[in-house]
Amino acid sequence: MSKANRGKIIVLVAPSGAGKTTLARRLLNDYPQIKFSVSATTRPPREGEQDGQAYHFLSEEEFDTKVQDHQFLEWEHYGGNRYGTLRSEVDKLVESGYFPLLDIEVKGALNVLEMYGSDVVSIFIKPPSMEVLKTRLQNRGSETDHSLQKRLARAEQELSFAQRFDYAVVNDDLDTAYGEIQAIIESFITD
C-alpha cells in the first residue's frame, strides 16, 4: 500500500433505502485493507446486533459525555435517536494502516469532508428515482406510513447535496453500481 494513500477515509453517503449498506458490505468483503468504522448510537440493538460490531450502543448519558468531550467527528439526531462517528475509531484504523469506511448520513459526511478535506474520498449513492426508493423502503416491511413519508422527505433534501461529494453513483442495478464504486476505490487502493 502506498504511503501517500495510507489513511484515506472512504465515505459512503445516501438516503435511506438507496443501497449504501449493501454496497458497503460488498466493499468490506472484497477489500481486506478497508475496515468499517463502527458508529455509536443511542438506539437499542436490533435482534442479532452485538455491541462494537454494528454499533457502539450508548446510553443518552454516555453519548452526552462523548459529545461534551469532542469525541465525535460528527453526530446527529435521526429517527428519534442519535448516531455519531467516534474519532477514536477512525484514528485507530488509520494508525493500523487501513482505509476506514464510514457509512453515514449527509450532514455528518459534510462535516467529515470539512475536517479531513483531501484525505476523504466521498461517494454519494443515489436511487434511480424517488418511486424506486419508495418501493425499496416499503419492501423492508419496517416502515409505517408516517415514517415512510418522513424518510422520503428527508431523501429529497439529501439528494440536493449530491453534487458536494467527489462521486455520485446511481444504484439502479446493484452489480453495475458496485462496479463503479470498485473503479473509484481501485484508483487509490493498491496492494
Give the integer Cα–Cα distance in Å for 116 and 126.
23
Q: Which candidate, 11, 14, 9, 19, places its Cα nearest to that of 178?
A: 19
Q: Which candidate, 19, 8, 178, places its Cα nearest to that of 100?
A: 8
Give the integer Cα–Cα distance in Å for 172 and 2.
33
Hey, which bits of 116-156 come out as E strands?
120-126
Distances (CA, A) of 138 to 46, 76, 188: 19, 24, 37
Binding residues: 14-21
Binding residues for ATP: 14-21
